Structure 1
Amino acid sequence: MKLHTKLFLSFTIVIILMALFQSLFIQNRVENNFGRYLDKNLNDSIELMKEKIVDYYKVTGTLEGIEKEIFPYSDLWKQGRRRMQGIESGRVEIFVTNAEQLVVASSTGLEIGKSAENLNGFKELIYADGEKIGEIIVQKNNLGFIDVEKQFIRSSNLAVIISGLLAAITAVGISIFISKKMVKPLNQLMKGIEKIIQGERNVRLHIDSRDEFSELGEAFNKMLEKLNKNEQIRKNLVLDVAHELRTPLAILQGKLESIQEGAIKADEKTILELSDEVYRLNRLVNDLQQLSLAEAGELPLHKRATDINELIKRICGNFQGLAEEKGISIEFKEPSVSIVAVLDPDRMTEVLVNLIGNALKWTPPSGKVTITAEKEKGMAKIAVSDTGPGIKKEHLEFIFDRFFKADKSRKREDAGTGLGLSIAKGFVEAHGGTIQAESEEGKGTTLTIMIPTEGASSSTF
C-alpha cells in the first residue's frame, strides 16, 4: 500500500471517528439538556399551580372544586399547555391534597377523594397565610419523551449528523489534497534515486516548501554533490596511483629484463637501484594505507598527555644536521608556559616531520624555518613557517589533496609520493584538530595546526 493511500485512509478514519464521537456527544448533551429544560418547566408549572391554589383557597376557604380550576380548564392549562406536556402525556402525574391528606384534584382524574398516604413522589407543601392547606405530589413515570419531544430531539440529531457528514466530506477532500502534497516531495526523491540508479549524476531536487521536506531535498542535493565529488576523487586516485606505480614498475621491469637478457650485470649498483624502486613502492602503498585509515576514521590512536614543547624541540633537534647541511636556519620559538595536549605522540611526530621536512625542502640556502607554539582558547596552536618561494594562489586549496605536486618539474627522487600533506591533514583531523595553509609567492608559506588540549594535565607525566 502506497504512502498516499495510507495517509488518506488514516485521515479518513480519524475524521469519521471524530464525527461519530461528536455526534454521540452532542446527542447525549441535547437529550440531557432538554430533559433538564422540561424539569425546569415542570417546576415552574408547579409554582404557578401553587399560586393558583392559594388564590383559590383565599377566595373560597376550601380546596373543593380546585380540580376544575387547574385540570384542565384553568388559565394555567390554556396558556401553559406546552409547558405541561409532561402532565398531558402521563409521564408526570400530579395530585393535590387538602390538609386532611385527601386527594382533591389529579392530572389523571383518578384517586380523587381517596387518602394520599400511599402516594409516593416529590411533595410540595402549600401554605396560605402561614397555614398548611395541602400538598402537591408529583410522580414521574419514566415513560420517556413524548412524540413532540422526540421529534425535536430527532431534528436536532439529524442536524448534527448532516453537519458532521458535510464536515467529514470536506475534511476527506482536504485530506486527499494534503496527502498528495505531502507525498509529492517523496515522489520527487524516489524519481531522483531512480535516476541515480540508472547512472545519472547531475540530478537535483527542487522542492518548493519551507518544511522538513525542503531540508530533505537540500540534504539530498548535498549528498549528491558529495557523491559526485567522492567519485571524482576516486577516479583521480585511481589515475594517480596508476601513474605513480607505473614508473617504478616500468623501471623494475626494464632492469630485470635487461639482467635476464645479459644487457646489464646484476652488480651491487643495479641491485641498489632496484631496491630503491621497491622501497618507493612500499612507501607509497604504506602511505596510501595510512591515509585511507585516517579518512575512514579508523586510524588507531594511542593517546596520552604530551608536552608539545618537548615534542617540537626533539623533532627540531633531529632536523638540525640537515638544516646546517643545506645552510638553513631552523628555530623553535618556545613559549614561556608548558603546553600539554592528549594525543598520539607518534602520529603527531609524523605530522610535524612532514611539515618541517617540507619546509626545509622548499627553503633555499640562507633561508629560515620557524616553528611556534602557543595555547589559544583550549587549543594548542603550532605553526611552521618557511622563507621559500611560496605557493601560487590557485594551488593553495589543493595542497592537501592526494598526489598534488605544485612543482611538476621536480625530479622523482626529490618530489616524494605527494601524500605527505594529505597524511598530515588526516592525522590532525583524527585528533579532532584542523590544519590550514597561508602562503604568498616570493615570501614563503605557513602551515598552522590546531589541536584540542581539553582533558590534558601536566600532572600525568
Structure 2
Amino acid sequence: MLGAMVWSNQYLLHDTMVKYVDKRDQLRLERLKNNIEVYMDEKGIFDTKDIDLGVWQRLLTASHRVDLTHTYIPMDILLEREYPTLLKIHPDEFESRVSLMSKDGELIVGPPPTENGMVECIRVDREEAGHLGYNHRKELTDKSDIEFAQNQSFIFTWGAILVTLLALLFLLPFASHFLIPIRKITRGMRRLSQGHFSTRLKQNRSDELGQLQQDFNHLAATLEQSKQSRNQWIADISHELRTPLTVLQGSLEAIKDGIRPATERNLQQIYEEVMLLNRLVDDLYQVTLNDVGGLHYKMNRVSFKEILSRSLETVEGAIQEKGLKLSLTLPADKCEINGDESRLQQMITNLLLNSIAYTDAVQADKDQQPGQIDVALICDAKHVQLDITDSAPTVEPDDLTHLFERLFRTEGSRSRRHGGAGLGLAIVQQIVQAHQGEVSASQSELGGIKVTVRLPL
C-alpha cells in the first residue's frame, strides 16, 4: 500500500503539474492570438503571412503578460520598443512550441504542429486570417515548476509513510483481535485432522468468528459421535456374528469329538443357527447397501391394500403357529400410492414379523387369552396410514425413540431371547424414508407397542 501510494503520488503529481503548466501556456496562447488580431485589425492585414517576423517576435514576447484586448497599449509604442537580442537567441519554453501559419495552412515560423497539438484560428473582421499552432508540454522545464513538484513529492511521500505507520499502529490491535481466534481455529482443525475429535474451542465472541467457533465445535461433536457410532456399530456387528458362530463351532466340535451324536435334531439346531447367521448377514447387507446408495427403488403406482394382503398371507403361518389373534381393518378403496412394490412388501413383512416375535402367545393379565395383533389401514386424500398394534410386552417410553436404530434392542421382554438382530426396524425406516414417509412407535392400548407408518399418496 505504501509503495502504491508513493508511486501514485509521484505519477499523479507529475501529470497534474505538467497539465497545470500546459494550461497556463494555453492562456498565454489565447493572449497571443488576441494581440495578433488587434495588430492585424489596426494595420489592415488579412493574412498572417504578411506579418513581419520582428513584429511577430515582439507580439510573442508581449503575450507573456499583456493582452491588448484588455490592456490598451498604442501599437507604435509597443512595436518601437527595442527587442532584446538575447531573447532571439534563447526563446523561452512557450515560444519554442508556438508556430504561426497562414490561412492556407502554410508554416511561417516556429515548429511544425504535432498530431495532438492545438490549432487556434486567427480572425480579422470575422474572416479567417491565419492560425496559431501549439504543441503540448510533456515534461516540466522551468526551474520553479520542477522545484515545486519536487517539494510536493517530498511532502506526499513522507505523508504516505506517516499514514502507513499510523495505520499499522492502529491496525495491530485489530489484527490480533482477528488473528488470534483464527490461529486457534487452525490449530483445532489440525487436531481434528489428526483424529482428536474431542477438541473444542472456547466460544467467547458474538461475531462471524464466534459463529465459526460454534460451527467448529458442532463439527467436532458430530465427528466424535460418528466415530463412537462407528466403533459401536463394529462392536455390535462383531458380537452379533460371534454368537451364532460360537454356537456353530461348539456344536460341530461336540459332534466331531463324539460328545453329541449327529442326529436330525442336533443337525436341525445347527441349521437354525446357520439360517440365523444368514438372516443377520442379509440384513447387514441391506442396511449397508442403502447407506452407500446401492439400494435402488422402482417407483410405480401400486395398491398398498393388495401389498398388505400379500404380506399378511406370508406371515399367516407364523401367526397360527404361535397362536396369536389377528384383527384386520381395511378400507374400501385400493389406497394406491407411488412406491416400490417389493420394498413396501418387505417393510410390512418386517413389521409383522417383529410384532409376532415380540408378542407373548398368551396375555397373563387377561386370563390367559391369546396374544393379539391389530392391523389397520387408513386412507385419506393425501396419505395412507398403516397401524400395527400388539399386546404385551411393551418397552419403556425412553426406548421408543431408539427402536429404529441399528442393532438396538431393549433389555426387557422384547430382547435377544427372540433371536432378532435389531436390524428389521432400521430397514423399515430406510424404506419409509425412501418413499418420503414417516414411521413412529408408541405404547399401545393392548399393552405392547403401536407402530405407525404414514406414506404420501
Fold conserved (TM > 0.5)?
yes
Answer whether contact 1:359 1:369 (CA < 8 A) is retained: no
Query: Residue in 2 aligned with 1:371?
Result: 376
Matches of 1:94 and 1:27, distance apart in 2: 20
**Partners in 1 of 2:21 and 2:73 — Cα distance?**
33
Deviates more, 1:63-72 or 1:298-307: 63-72
Contact 2:299 2:338 in 1 (8 A): no
1:258 partner amino acid: A
- Aligned-partner residue type, residue 152 of structure 1: F
Shift of 1:204: 1.1
- Structure 2 runs not aligned, ≥5 long: 35-65, 85-89, 111-118, 364-369
Per-residue CA distance 1:224-249 (angstroms, 9 max, x = gap): 22222222223323433343344433
The CA distance in 2 between the partners of 1:259 and 1:417, in whole Å, is 27
Task: Say whether 1:273 aligns with 2:269.
Answer: yes
Partners of 1:302 and 1:198 lie apart in 2 by 42
After TM superposition, the score normalised by the length of structure 1 is 0.68
Partner of 2:281: 285
State the 1:444 CA deviation. Answer: 4.7
Q: CA deviation digits over 1:69-128, x for unaligned, max 9?
A: 8999xxxxxxxxxxxxxx994623899xxxxx9xxxxxxxxxxxxxxx94568575688x
Q: How far 1:41 moved relative to its partner?
A: 5.9
1:439 alignment counterpart: 443
Q: Cα distance 1:31–1:278, how it changes in 2: closer, same or farther (>3 A)?
A: same
C-alpha separation between the residues in 2 aligned to 1:16 and 1:222? 44
Give the structure 2 partner of residue 333 of structure 1.
330
Relative to structure 1, the CA distance from residue 286 to residue 88 in structure 2 (aligned partners, 3 Å threshold; closer, same or farther) is: same
- Aligned residue for 1:25? 12
Preserved CA contact (<8 Å) 2:120 2:132? yes
Q: 1:296 to 1:181 in 2, by over 3 A?
A: farther
Secondary structure, aligned partner of 1:306: strand
Tell me how far apart the structure 2 counterparts of residues 392 and 165 of structure 1 sit (CA, whole Å). 75
Cα RMSD (Å) of the superposition? 4.4
Per the alignment, do residues 391 and 19 of structure 1 end up closer, same or farther by CA in structure 2, a change over 3 Å counting? farther
Percent of matched pairs sharing the same residue: 21
- Structure 1 pair 266–136 and aligned structure 2 pair: CA distance change class (3 A): closer
* Partner Cα distance (1:410, 1:391) in 2: 7
TM-score (structure 2 length as normaliser) = 0.69
What SS is found at the alignment partner of 2:408? coil
User: 2:399 matched to which residue of 1?
Assistant: 395
Deviation at residue 372 of structure 1 after TM alignment: 2.5
Cα–Cα, structure 1 residues 224 and 452, in superposed 2: closer, same or farther, change >3 Å? farther
Match of residue 423 from structure 2:
419
SS in 2 for 1:386: strand
Return closer, same or farther for 1:320/1:43 CA change in 2, 3 Å cut-off.
Answer: same
Cα distance in structure 2, aligned partners of 1:141 and 1:358? 101
Alignment CA distance shift 1:338-1:242 (3 Å): closer
Structure 2 contact 358–414 (Cα < 8 Å) conserved: no
Aligned length: 393
Question: Which amino acid is 1:384 matched to?
Answer: D
Query: For 1:201 and 1:118, how far apart are their aligned partners in 2?
Result: 91
Match of 1:35 among 15, 18, 22: 22
Q: What 5-or-longer segments of structure 1 have no aligned partner?
A: 1-11, 58-62, 73-86, 96-100, 102-116, 454-461
Cα distance change on mapping 1:217 and 1:443 into 2, 3 Å: same
Name the residue aligned to 2:152.
156
Structure 2 vs 1, CA of residues 93 and 20 (structure 1 numbering), >3 Å: closer, same or farther?
Answer: closer
**2:185 corresponds to:** 189
Equivalences for residues 193-342 of structure 1 within 5 A: 193-196=189-192, 200-206=196-202, 208=205, 210-211=207-208, 214=210, 216-320=212-316, 322-323=318-319, 326-334=323-331, 336=333, 338-342=335-339
Residue 267 of structure 1 deviates from its aligned partner by 1.0
Counting only pairs closer than 5 Å after superposition, residues 8-157 of structure 1 correspond to structure 2 as 16-17=3-4, 20-21=7-8, 23-40=10-27, 43=30, 49-51=67-69, 55-57=72-74, 63-67=75-79, 89=92, 91-92=94-95, 118-119=108-109, 145-157=141-153
Q: Distance in 2 between matches of 1:226 and 1:94?
A: 79
